[in-house]
Amino acid sequence: MANTYTQIHIQAVFAVKNRIGLIRKEWQNDLYKYITGIVQTHKHKMLSINGMPDHIHVFFGMRPSQSLSDLMQDIKGSSSKWVNTNKFTRGKFEWQEGYGAFSYSKSQVSNVINYIENQEIHHQRITFLDEYKEFLDKFEIDYDERYLFKDLE
């Protein structure tokens, strides 16, 4: 799009269904590469990707040529199919419905990248659900506890 100039930095956070820790170290980096490929195929710029066995943080520079919801649908749908095709889990792998998406200014980019790269250290002191609630509170997003990422029932 000629004469269109943007600077959109998005951190998306999403969880494995029922927040089960299914993402294993043995294939975690391949999953991240696969998701990075999806982001780049759509001409967005991957800035950082990392997570824990039960969730992922994806931070990218977004072009306005695609909606965030379409991109997230592709990331989650294609990556879960990839995990299942490669039989990385015993049962069916699925991402939990929904995601969180948070926007940042250019001056915050290095701090967000650092935060994402240090997920293991960060989660020694805080659970995923508490982390997610902190994001929602920090960004002043109203939410209903009933609709947050759910544990196994």
What CATH number does residue 112 fall under? Answer: 3.30.70.1290
Please answer whether residues 98 and 149 qualify as being in contact, where contact means their C-beta atoms are separated by less than 8 angstroms: yes
Indicate if the pLDDT at residue 84 is higher than 60: yes
On whether residue 82 sits in a domain, the answer given is: yes
On whether residue 4 sits in a domain, the answer given is: no
pTM: 0.91
Residue 29 domain boundaries? 9-143
Kindly state the DSSP code that residue 96 receives in the 8-state scheme: P
Query: pLDDT digit string (tens) for 34-56?
Result: 999 999 999 999 999 999 999 99
Indicate if the pLDDT at residue 151 is higher than 70: no
Indicate if the pLDDT at residue 57 is higher than 90: yes
Output the pLDDT for position 15: 95
Please classify residue 88 by burial: count the beta carbons closer than 10 Å to its beta carbon, then call 0-12 exposed, 13-18 middle and 19+ buried. Answer: middle
Q: If you average pLDDT over residues 9-30, what whole number do you get?
A: 95
Structure tokens at 50: 């990392």
On whether residue 148 sits in a domain, the answer given is: no
Query: pLDDT digit string (tens) for 108-142?
Result: 999 999 999 999 998 999 988 899 999 999 999 99
pLDDT: is 120 or 76 the higher one?
76
Domain count, the chain: 1
Q: With residue 30 as reference, give the H or E element that holds it.
A: helix 25-41
CA distance 148 to 150: 6
Output the pLDDT for position 2: 73
Output the pLDDT for position 65: 93
On whether residue 2 sits in a domain, the answer given is: no
Of 127, 28, 125, which Cα lies nearest the Cα of 79?
28
First to last CA, the chain: 47
Output the pLDDT for position 8: 97
Strands in 100-104's sheet, in edge-to-edge order, are 45-52, 55-61, 9-15, 100-104
Output the pLDDT for position 19: 86
